Structure 1
Amino acid sequence: MKHQTAQQTLKNAKGQLEAALKMLDEERYCVDISNQLMATIALIKRANKQILSEHLNHCVIESIHNQDAEAKIKEIEQLIERMM
């Protein structure tokens, strides 16, 4: 499965987010909740990096071999622009 690593990372992030929601329900200390949220964000960023890495190493390389890379390059440029 191509996205297995990213999928597991996102499942971990989901668990972290559910923990943060529980902490809110329990009216836990704000800094502790914030730390939980930052851990969730870090996992989501890691999953995004994993997905993009797979895209570059599979889809983009395949399009280069097929001499049809212009569309993939444009997609990456647009993605970088949204990230900035």
Structure 2
Amino acid sequence: METKDRSIELNLLKTARGQIDGIIKMLENDRYCIDISKQILAVQALLKKTNLEILKKHMNSCVKDAFEKGNGEDKIDEIMLVLDKYYR
């Protein structure tokens, strides 16, 4: 398996981390609950986007390699477990 460029995922997670720090400050400063909730939803969206990027790269590398070697079904099962949790 080749080394993957993780810059997209890292940037998304760093942005989410910055937003989480902002949410903590909002809570400490007793900001309006709806504003806090909106920021939490924004972080959740970033985390979902990051996870989809990771899964996409996983499918284009690990899953592809496994199918080329004839054992891709296990990788499909792994992805299905993740997606099952994702959609709950």
- Fold equivalence (TM over 0.5): yes
| Aligned: 1:13 with 2:16 | yes
Runs of 4+ aligned residues of structure 1 deviating over 4 Å after TM superposition are none
Aligned residue runs from structure 1 range 35-46, under 5 A: 35-46=38-49
1:45 deviates by 0.7
CA distance in 2 between partners of 1:37 and 1:82 (Å): 19
**Structure 1 unaligned regions, length at least 5:** none
Report the Cα offset of residue 65 of structure 1.
1.2
Letter in structure 1 aligned against 2:25: K
User: In the TM superposition, what is the alpha-carbon distance from 1:81 to its structure 2 partner?
Assistant: 2.2
Residue identity opposite 1:78 in structure 2? L
1:63 partnered with 2:61: no
CA distance in 2, matches of 1:20, 1:5: 23
Query: What displacement does 1:66 show?
Result: 1.4
- Equivalent in 24, 28, 31 of residue 28 of structure 1: 31
For structure 2, the 5+ residue unaligned runs are none
Q: What is the TM-score when the length of structure 1 is the normalising length?
A: 0.90
Offset, 1:34: 1.0
Aligned-pair RMSD on alpha carbons? 1.2
Identify the residue that residue 81 of structure 1 maps to in structure 2.
84
Pairs aligned (count): 84
Once residues 35 and 69 of structure 1 are traced to their aligned partners in structure 2, the CA distance between those partners, rounded to angstroms, is 40
Shift of 1:13: 0.3
